Structure 1
Amino acid sequence: MKKLPLLIFLVLPLFCLAQSTFKLKGKIASETKFLEWAEVSILNEEGKIITGTTSKADGSFEIDLKKGLYRIEISLLGFTDLEKEISVEKDIDLGTVILKETTTNLVEVVVQSKKKTIEQKTDRLIYNLENNVANVGGDALSAINTAPGVVVQNNTINILGKGTSRVMIDGRIIELTGEELNNFLKSISAADIKNIEIISNPPAKYEADGFGGLINIVMKKGVRDSWKNSTTVSYDQNKYGIFTLRDNFFYSKNKFRLSASVNGKTGYKNVDEISDVYFEDGLSNLNARTKAKNENLSGKLALDYDFSEKTTVGFQILNDRNNPDFQSDIVVKKYNAQNQLQNYIVNNSFADRASGNQTYNAHLITKLDTLNRKLSFDVDYFNYNSKFDREFTANNYLADGSFVDVNQSGRNISNQDIDNLSFKADMEHPLQSMNLSYGAKVSFTNSISDVLFYDTITGTPVLDPNQSNRFKYTENNQAVYINGDKKINEKWKLQLGLRLENTETTGFSETLNQETANNYLKLFPTFFASYKKNDNNTFSLNYGKRINRPRFDLLNPFRIYISSNSYAEGNPFLKPSFSDNFEFAHSYKEILRTSVFVNLITDGYGVLFTSNPETSTQIITRDNYFKSLNYGVGESYSASFAEWWQSENSLYFLGAKTDFIKDINATPSNSLQIDFTTNNTFVLRKNTKLQIDFNYSTPFKSGLYEIGYASSFNIGFKQDLLNKTLQIALLANDIFNTSYLKDFTSVVNGVKQVYSNNESNRFVRLSVIYNFGNKKINVKERNFGNQEERKRVSN
């Protein structure tokens, strides 16, 4: 198995197979003259850009294509885009193609044939943000939350009925999860996002990790031979205020492209938490109010250079820094069996926290021939570090408010450092009989976390070795994949894939002198089939096997005390979970989409809120304790009730059957969950839009837990000024303050626990966006432009 990383890169031969090609040519003109620099893109039936060029001074263009069905897209700044389906079976001359001039003159192509908000592809759903006013002035996390079938709650991103999702940017996985991932996504401007791909059952090319599939954020690219700058200022007002400033710059000339962005945020938010634990001898009630500092500074720099029309090299750097300090006031009240207050604990704490991550990427993409064979290499390095310093004092009081003694007084210091280095190679290899792709990836992860606890009850800090720990974790992953798709005829298309992943992990607790190793080699098959009955009806069926690996911090066995009778601990023996995912879908005119899905989860792991009734102690841990069958039906409907009213609606019915595979002294229960969302955009005037969104999810039971309802009602308004170079937007989010996690209930060992967490989703946001630039830079020579980069992003 140790030789596998070397063997991986021996499976990437470059084949040379002769295939016949045909020429597609034509000329592009306005009503008065031929047009130079018009972008000509060729897309396959899945909507992916496979090749392209730009028109010459006389408006002419020429592209080599093999036999097949394609879509040609022609665009030029100041003109309305043109799209056309073409069937290539011989040389084709389109003659002179006339583009209609638009009435406005903007810094980039923003006036064009209106994109559909939702586009259904064979293996993914594409969500275009531009039609949703609520995303103006927002960030990537809020944009994901407006995507169909996706819910963001309590630091997790879920595809409904599937589970927690991994996130990619331009096809590259983000090595963050939970709160750290959310903070990173908040540093990305929604205005920079072209679209969001929801891949509920990813093909073999992508990582197999994550039950909820993948969410790919596709970033915008600038217009060829131009420069632009966009500045956004926004202010959110909740109980406290948050100020955000973003600036994004793009420059393209000849073979060179540069993009840079800087994002800054400062302010505070309010977090309220309630926890009720019903012990036999009485209720323990915790109320926590936290004033959380929201301070962030991030930036991105990306460079790409076209060595030729076939080869592009580039690199990018992302840097994100956060300083989310917390001032918390916690009150724990203890009642007797007659519900009379006996005593209470007041815990005042301040946490100085700082975290940062850096991502470095270098890539090479080369087109090998006119048959669209393409080879790409990526090298990625990722580092995440965090520092946490918390000082607290917890005092005991009698019911009448009389001071008794100090319950706890201490200082927690923790540090975490994660490094990840990965190498990836991908080959797209179209054949006469099918489109073939294959590749390999190796990834090396190291994580070190330190926890120090000082007892300060005497006023002098004393290190407590029983509450101090150092945990080291390594994870090495090697993967190879092969994927093939074939169009059998005009109605049937098939795609088959197989991914092999080998994982080796080691966790070591220095304090406990405990080491845990886990090695496993797994196959992850995928299958997709689509049938186009006619122009109105398309059916598809897909299957994929996936894995859900535990986060590094969940494997740390060390016990961290929240109070003298409440603690959390990791589980070094936590194993990955596996799922088999089936989905059947139907699309009617791309307006009404129906999906029926089933997921089988084995060795499922999750959080356990357990307790010890004898000592009235609350324990929070994780374990592989269940298996489940999850199923559901989803309906989405896109409607234009009038030229001024566009509506996107979805309705999901979700259910599950859960069995416990470990004795946890609890009984599983499940119920139906219904989730309804409607997003409505109203064009009040040519440059004025109103957005009204509503979401409601019913209370439901799932295995060990019962979860309360959640809903959100939002109103957004956008006004375009100065030919859309200036935009002003106002958003009232979660007006009734009902979108938070509430009544999260479990019963273990006969003890009922109920938890709620409100993270200030209700706010009013005012945003101002100013765009300026030069739509055309004088260039010394004509070259291919940014089509290769666009192809890389579209994959």
Structure 2
Amino acid sequence: MKVILSALLLLLSLNSMAQNTGKVEITRGIISGKVVTVKDGLAIEGATIIIKSQKDSLYKNAINSDQSGAFEFKNLQSGTYSLQIKHLGYKEVTIGQLIINAVKPSANLSEIKLELAENDLKEVVIRAGQKPYTEQKIDRTIVNVSQLLSNNGVSAVEVLNNAPGVSVTDDAISLRGKQGVTIYIDGRQTFLDGTQLVNYLKSLPSGTIEKLELMPVPPAKYHVEGNAGLINIITKKNHTGGFNGGLTATNGRGHYDKANYSLNLNYKTGKLNLFGNAAYTSNNNYYKVDRERDFSFANPADNYTIKQNNLETNNRKTTRYKLGFDAALDTNTSIGLVIDGSVSPYKEQGNYLLQFNHALPDSIIKTQSDLNRPTNDVALNLYYQHKFKKAGENIRIDADYLHYTDNALQLLNSDTYLPNSTELANNYNLITQNPFEANVYSLKSDYETKTFADIKLSAGLQSIYSKRGSNGIYFNRPGIPNDSLTSSNTYTEHINAAYISLNKNLKKFSFELGLRFENSSSQARQYNYAGIPYPALHLNYNNLFPKLYVAYKLDTASVNTFNFSFDYQINRPDYSSLNPFAFYFDRYTSFQGNASLLPEKTINFDLSFTHSGILTVGTSFKKGRNTIIQFYYVNGQSLVNTSLNICSNYNLALYSTVAVPIFKWWTANLFGQVSEQLFRGEAINNDFLYNRVFTFEASGNNQFKINKGLSAEISGFYRTRTTFGQGYYLPMFRVNTSLQKKIFNNKATITLAGSDIFHSWKIRREIRVNNAWITSNIINDTRQINLTLAYRFGLEGKKRINKSGLETERGRAGVN
């Protein structure tokens, strides 16, 4: 019997083997090729190649051709595939019946020739514009700004607010619910913070922005001044041959008129690429604050209330410019220079009303303020880049300089009245001059190469030196100085850094391990009105910042992927937080920096799952110590806003992003997040802070294709109660709508956009301060309608696209 059974099993095995002959599965197949032009065989860099399975027509992966036009799909399973090759200005090419099996494990297509589509630009432009709104990479999320209609004719602040997981509230930028984001422009740090940074972003038109890179855990090459990650704003720079450019003009109306205009120009011939842009923004706005301070004491007779009504109207006119060139000295070496800057006068008129109540109205203070605050900046970048003979080996050296000035002059006049409008002899005047100047110098080098076992090595050095100085000059009346308030301050900082990063791609795993070392030395010194210095504050510390990224592919086509990241970050106090000078809104409300602030240190974890690049589900965790927060405290009857360190905070979040093609004419891009935040620690006047809250946040946009060339969009944002430091922020939402029409063979678009159409973007904040409870309601000119005309002109797609100039730091359009 055993012999019979053995024979039967042997026959079944032989039969099975026979049936599977020729069907041996492989998982390491390769399809490669090179994309060139039909006319002269020039390589086309940046062409999009999409691979699909012919069995079910499902999308598998997409890559771009490199500088030589080459591309390669690796680790393919046995099967039959098709390729779609497309590039702006060229006709699309489809190649099918590409068979991968054990007999034929690879397919080399040699040259794939693309034909110019000069007579069919309409079709080409539409297809080229079908870029997804977001793209997920191992260490960042890419947001393609132009894919959202509501990003037309607005500033960089609105572009950030429209991005998934990003919020700009109360001059603070948060990413996935965490404040302390560092902003880069074209791979280069802005060195601005707080109000200065937000004002700069308000002057940067969306027409100059190509995309955003959201990096909750930034790679080791970036110098990060924050604890919530990094956002890199990449501006437009065209590498297409010949002369080309774009013009964007926007006129809008909210409560006041608004306008912004931008012009981008590019000329590339041979080894030289010239580029530049100019932008003008005029923004009239208002800022209305209703604040109430309720003070409670053991003796109810001592209780009192201060009601404050503030109304500020302001106008900022900004002219920005950028000029630069890239020059190829030979096939492997290039140099470049960029000069950019801005001139931005700002005027503000404020009317502030304070009413004191002890059961009944006690007295009223009326304050008028006139503020002139012109800012100017100029930045210079010079780079050298060389590619060695060894594939993937290159070095880049950057030298940067920034000069920034902010000259504030404020005239403050207060009068006190009784409830019956009788004026008391208690007039108060204050004239404040706060000139500020910053000079920042940076020198860095970045080196890349391939080492043993195909490991990519990146390493670099960076040195940053900055000197910043400001004066607080106060007069009670013209010619009568207030020596008790007048002083000056200087702050110098020198940061030296080195980093190394290793990247390895395996069959299913991808690893990136980075380590950054920084030595920081700084000195803050304050002088009194006579120029006599107070004791200087010296800080010197060394820090190591480890970075780890791991990606695991559940299938060889990378349809389903897990991503994990970890890093350690430091948030050094910004200059405005360290500046000890007082800025007075009125005699009972002021802002003052804290020269004793310590750096904040945080650890961050992130784990996510991505399906087909359209669905991402993840969780993130952040824990910080010496957390820097904005803090209000009462000094007599005056409310003072300052910065301080508290013991710790943490943020735990669950988030998801999804792009859903509901119908052929309707696509939705959605983001949702649930998070828990805690801020805890001792504060001023023996106060103990313990703020803990759960928050739900959702945002999304719905895009509708109405007919050929006509499209519409509805987008929105909603957030429940949350906390940032001392304050609780009540729920808020907004809704935006847009309608766009393409004209002139798709070379121009007209967009009509409505922002915050229900005027619901109102900041409502609650703060507990010792014996006081402070509530604030803040409204500004967020509801507006804009009409934007964008026109693109010049040659398109007739030459090889060359990125031999600025790579991670190409071009800039702003203070950096």
- Normalising by the residue count of structure 2, what TM-score does the alignment of the two structures yield? 0.86
Report the more deviating stretch, 123-132 or 444-453: 123-132
CA pair 622-565 structure 1, distance change in 2 beyond 3 A: same
- Please show how residues 234-383 of structure 1 align to structure 2 within 5 Å: 234-280=250-296, 281-336=303-358, 338=359, 340-383=360-403
Aligned to 2:5: none
SS of alignment partner, residue 671 of structure 1: strand
CA pair 790-680 structure 1, distance change in 2 beyond 3 A: farther
> How many angstroms apart in 1 are the aligned matches of 2:430 and 2:227?
39
CA pair 479-790 structure 1, distance change in 2 beyond 3 A: closer
SS of alignment partner, residue 484 of structure 2: helix
User: Which residue, 570, 573, 585 being the options, matches 1:547?
Assistant: 570
Task: Give the partner amino acid of 2:520.
Answer: T
Aligned to 1:77: 89
User: Which residue, 176, 183, 188 being the options, matches 1:160?
Assistant: 176
Aligned to 2:151: 135
1:39 aligns with 2:60: no
SS of alignment partner, residue 557 of structure 1: coil
Task: Give the partner amino acid of 2:525.
Answer: F
SS of alignment partner, residue 53 of structure 1: coil
SS of alignment partner, residue 405 of structure 1: coil
Contact 2:75/2:507 (8 A) holds in 1: no
Q: How big is the shift at 1:666? A: 3.6
> How many angstroms apart in 2 are the aligned matches of 1:405 and 1:86?
93
Report the more deviating stretch, 678-687 or 754-763: 754-763
SS of alignment partner, residue 399 of structure 1: coil
> How many angstroms apart in 2 are the aligned matches of 1:73 and 1:791?
24
SS of alignment partner, residue 196 of structure 2: helix
> How many angstroms apart in 2 are the aligned matches of 1:83 and 1:500?
49
Aligned length: 747
Q: How big is the shift at 1:264? A: 1.1
> How many angstroms apart in 2 are the aligned matches of 1:558 and 1:267?
28
- Please show how residues 15-94 of structure 1 align to structure 2 within 5 Å: 28=36, 36-37=41-42, 39-41=44-46, 51-53=66-68, 75=87, 77-80=89-92, 93-94=108-109
- Please show how residues 101-140 of structure 1 align to structure 2 within 5 Å: 104-105=120-121, 111-112=127-128, 114-140=130-156
Aligned to 1:429: 449
1:478 aligns with 2:496: yes
Aligned to 2:484: 466
Contact 1:695/1:712 (8 A) holds in 2: yes
> How many angstroms apart in 1 are the aligned matches of 2:159 and 2:526?
39
1:97 aligns with 2:128: no
Contact 1:40/1:75 (8 A) holds in 2: no
Aligned-pair RMSD on alpha carbons? Answer: 3.0
Q: How big is the shift at 1:590? A: 1.9
Q: Which runs of 5+ in 2 are unaligned?
A: 1-29, 50-59, 77-82, 297-302, 812-816
Give deviations 1:266-315, integer Å, cap 9, x for gaps. Answer: 24211112221112321111111111012111111121111122111101
SS of alignment partner, residue 114 of structure 1: coil
Contact 1:730/1:765 (8 A) holds in 2: yes
User: Which residue, 483, 507, 519 being the options, matches 1:502?
Assistant: 519
CA pair 438-625 structure 1, distance change in 2 beyond 3 A: same
Give deviations 1:144-170, integer Å, cap 9, x for gaps. Answer: 221111111222221023322111122
1:764 aligns with 2:781: no
> How many angstroms apart in 2 are the aligned matches of 1:66 and 1:96?
15
Aligned to 1:180: 196
Contact 1:161/1:631 (8 A) holds in 2: no
User: Which residue, 711, 720, 726 being the options, matches 1:689?
Assistant: 711
Aligned to 2:507: 490
Contact 1:42/1:72 (8 A) holds in 2: no
> How many angstroms apart in 2 are the aligned matches of 1:358 and 1:192?
18
Identity of counterpart residues, as a percentage?
Answer: 21
> How many angstroms apart in 1 are the aligned matches of 2:619 and 2:510?
20
Q: How big is the shift at 1:760? A: 1.4
CA pair 196-72 structure 1, distance change in 2 beyond 3 A: farther
* Structure label with greater radius of gyration: 2
Contact 2:125/2:746 (8 A) holds in 1: no
1:396 aligns with 2:416: yes
CA pair 72-467 structure 1, distance change in 2 beyond 3 A: farther
> How many angstroms apart in 2 are the aligned matches of 1:312 and 1:201?
31
Q: How big is the shift at 1:377? A: 0.4
Aligned to 1:191: 207
> How many angstroms apart in 2 are the aligned matches of 1:436 and 1:134?
40
> How many angstroms apart in 1 are the aligned matches of 2:502 and 2:258?
48
CA pair 557-23 structure 1, distance change in 2 beyond 3 A: same
CA pair 116-76 structure 1, distance change in 2 beyond 3 A: closer
CA pair 176-90 structure 1, distance change in 2 beyond 3 A: farther
SS of alignment partner, residue 577 of structure 2: helix
- Please show how residues 574-723 of structure 1 align to structure 2 within 5 Å: 574-612=597-635, 615-662=636-683, 664-701=686-723, 704-723=726-745
Report the more deviating stretch, 559-568 or 716-725: 559-568
Contact 1:26/1:93 (8 A) holds in 2: no
SS of alignment partner, residue 633 of structure 2: strand
Contact 2:683/2:689 (8 A) holds in 1: no
Contact 2:418/2:424 (8 A) holds in 1: yes
Give deviations 1:457-511, integer Å, cap 9, x for gaps. Answer: xxx5301111111100001000000000112x32111111100000011000011
User: Which residue, 355, 380, 384 being the options, matches 2:404?
Assistant: 384
Contact 2:566/2:605 (8 A) holds in 1: yes
Report the more deviating stretch, 588-597 or 392-401: 588-597
Q: Which runs of 5+ in 1 are unaligned?
A: 1-21, 55-62
Aligned to 2:795: 774
Contact 1:425/1:441 (8 A) holds in 2: yes
Q: How big is the shift at 1:703? A: 5.2
1:568 aligns with 2:583: no
SS of alignment partner, residue 676 of structure 1: strand
Aligned to 2:8: none
> How many angstroms apart in 2 are the aligned matches of 1:105 and 1:767?
22
Contact 1:418/1:445 (8 A) holds in 2: yes
Give deviations 1:102-149, integer Å, cap 9, x for gaps. Answer: 563279966427212111111101111222111122233322221111
Q: How big is the shift at 1:224? A: 2.6
> How many angstroms apart in 1 are the aligned matches of 2:377 and 2:95?
41
> How many angstroms apart in 2 are the aligned matches of 1:450 and 1:427?
41
